[in-house]
Structure 1
Amino acid sequence: MTHSHRPTSPALQIYRPQLTSVLSITHRLTGVALSVGSLMIVAWLVAGAIGPSAYDGVLVFVRSWFGLVLLAGWTFAIFFHLCNGIRHLFWDTGRGFALRTIYASGWAVVAVSTALTIGCWAAAIFLAWGVE
């Protein structure tokens, strides 16, 4: 006898992603994003070595809305990966495993990463206004 509506695992029906699991997955994803984003730096350096025409071509892409979104995401990935890596270093020493501390440090990683990203971009925009 076959069932057309077989039940799924009860755990799959009630599971909600926890902050710790989301941060763990995000840490891995930002590591991949940093690797892929590094190709953008390599392209910029190679274009600069090739000459002004190639360099200007890369700048057109970087200054496009899509390029700026990629740069903003890459900036967040740098800061998130750094902050979460520091959090893991504390864990490596056996500190910060109380449930309350795990959640507080997790939210701190998100908040500090966001603040550093906004601060970095604000500084870049401010400095760009001073350049003629």
Structure 2
Amino acid sequence: MSTIRKYIHTNRQVLKYLLMKTSTNRPLSPHLQVYKPQLTSILSIFHRGTGVVLAIGSILVAYWLSAIATGPEAFASANAILGSFLGKLILFGWTWALFYHLCNGIRHLMWDSGYGFDIPTTYLSGKVVLGAATVLTILLWLVA
């Protein structure tokens, strides 16, 4: 038998075995609601969520920049929308997401260099990220 035929034959056997194993009645793994949320898992979800928020919020920034380029009437309209209470609330949340994602990215760089993997340091760095993102957001909004 040629090498290719042996490869195909072996893969068919593996596929049959895997299909047989998946069709057996095995217990399902526990659902996420069974587990107690931990700071590390919540921060991981926040990191992914803030990435999505930043991507969507960038559309607002692009809208504002295009309004600047379009002219004074478009700029006044964009400022009226983004200057409203709801607009400011959205921009505040976007700013927090930006700083959280930045600070948590620095935390990940620390992990990439091999530091901070023990449990106390992981929890401490997570709390520092939350605090730093909040402080930086408030400082920016006070200064701007």
TM-score, normalised relative to structure 2: 0.77
* Structure 1 residues 13-32: aligned runs within 5 Å: 14-32=34-52
Q: Alignment partner for residue 129 of structure 2, among 109, 113, 117?
A: 109
Q: How many residues align?
A: 117
The higher relative CO (CA closer than 8 Å, separation ≥ 6) is in 1
- Kindly indicate whether residue 125 of structure 2 is the aligned counterpart of residue 93 of structure 1: no
Structure ID, larger Rg: 2
C-alpha displacement of 1:16: 1.0
C-alpha displacement of 1:15: 1.2
Alpha-carbon RMSD across the aligned residues, in angstroms, is 1.5
Q: 1:107 to 1:52 in 2, by over 3 A?
A: same
TM-score, normalised relative to structure 1: 0.83
Moved more, 10-19 or 102-111: 10-19
Alignment gaps of 5+ in structure 1: 1-7, 125-132
Amino acid at match of 1:16: K
Alignment gaps of 5+ in structure 2: 1-27
Q: What does the per-residue CA deviation read over 1:39-93, in whole Å, with 9 as the maximum and x for residues that have no partner? A: 1111111111111111110000011111001110011011000000000001111
Amino acid at match of 1:29: G
Q: 1:44 to 1:12 in 2, by over 3 A?
A: closer
2:69 aligned residue: 49
